[in-house]
Amino acid sequence: MKKEILQCVAVVWVLLFSATAHSEPKQTEVSYKKDVAPVIHDYCLNCHEPGGKGFEKSGLDMRTYSSLMKGTKFGSVIKPGDSFTSILIQVIDGRVHDSIKMPYGMAGGLSKDKIGVLKKWVVQGAKDN
């Protein structure tokens, strides 16, 4: 009798676990080309391309995936998989001194949605997709 109860409990547990595992929403992958590059184009390129103030000060060229991943003359700005310590996320998230908060001079900064896209992309490995 005790063995049958344990088997029933085990079956119920497996069924419940299976149901909850399938009910979790699938996390969509952020695309560099479709999701990240448009944000960079609209909010970053006016300064972070050769000839721009941000490029001249930091060396950060954001025109392409490879130039973004190269970083600045001071080092990398993206740590794939880690949005908290990635410099790019720190400066757009406002976790730095106001003088280097990005986009520079933009009152209020990027919207939470756009910051979320960039964070998610970094967390997912900052892929060139």
Residue 64: what pLDDT? 98
Domain boundaries along the sequence of the chain: 32-123
Q: Which residues of the chain have pLDDT under 70?
A: 1-26
Residue 26: what pLDDT? 63
Convert 83-106 to b/e letters by CB count within 10 Å (16 or more is b).
Answer: beebbbbbbbbeeeeeeebbbbee
